[in-house]
Structure 1
């Protein structure tokens, strides 16, 4: 068999393998993408709009500790309009799908010194790890 004839079946095999492998990093920036199903070992990157200059912060209510492991603290990414005072951006958290099971990842957007005031926004996502 010529090398060219081997190349076609090999190419299809590689494409099929790539299509079956789950994405290693799953991005989530909208509650409409929930419920979410992850494979053990995948990384979840949660990105939510934020503006710390207003005093509001995303506060963790339930980090789904039985299924997700934190990969570090919150990181704030400013908007692309650098230099604008008070401009918002995104808060980013990274988690690893550690254990099979289901849980809720829940956060509220409020001023930490006023817990009696209803949150401005809530993020609540059911996550299942297989």
Structure 2
């Protein structure tokens, strides 16, 4: 009897997993850019698509990549990954990654700047921009 109950639970679990998978957005794309790559004049994306931007960053210099203004149609995630180094090393750089997930239709403007927080009135050291239309 225990064996039959286990098989029944397994079949039900697989059925629920299949239902969840079928609700996932289809034909989504990930657009990846680095500092050296310019965004098109107007990028077209669909709801569910993702734009990923990677750039070198070394927080020990005070310079960090920042999003200038909040976005209306994207969910934004930021991560920083330090480069691998010998133990005890200081002032080590890494990579800043921004992940923008399109949540609803509309237009938005991503403007990223590489600045020191206390020098906000100064021209950014580097910048990256992208105007996006989501359908």
- How big is the shift at 1:117? 2.0
Out of 45, 51, 55, the position equivalent to 1:48 is 55
**Gap regions ≥5 residues in structure 2:** 1-25
TM-score when scaled to structure 2? 0.66
Alignment partner, residue 15 of structure 1: none
1:67 and 1:89 mapped to 2: Cα distance?
28
**Gap regions ≥5 residues in structure 1:** 1-19
Alignment partner, residue 67 of structure 1: 73
Note if 1:79 corresponds to 2:83: yes
Contact 2:28 2:48 in 1 (8 A): no
TM-score when scaled to structure 1? 0.68
1:100 and 1:50 mapped to 2: Cα distance?
31
Counterpart of 1:32 in 2: which secondary structure?
Answer: coil
Out of 98, 103, 106, the position equivalent to 1:93 is 98
- How big is the shift at 1:21? 3.3
Alignment partner, residue 128 of structure 2: 123
TM-aligned CA distance change 1:33 to 1:120, over 3 Å: closer
- Computing the radius of gyration from Cα coordinates, the structure with the larger value is 2
Counterpart of 2:31 in 1: which secondary structure?
Answer: strand
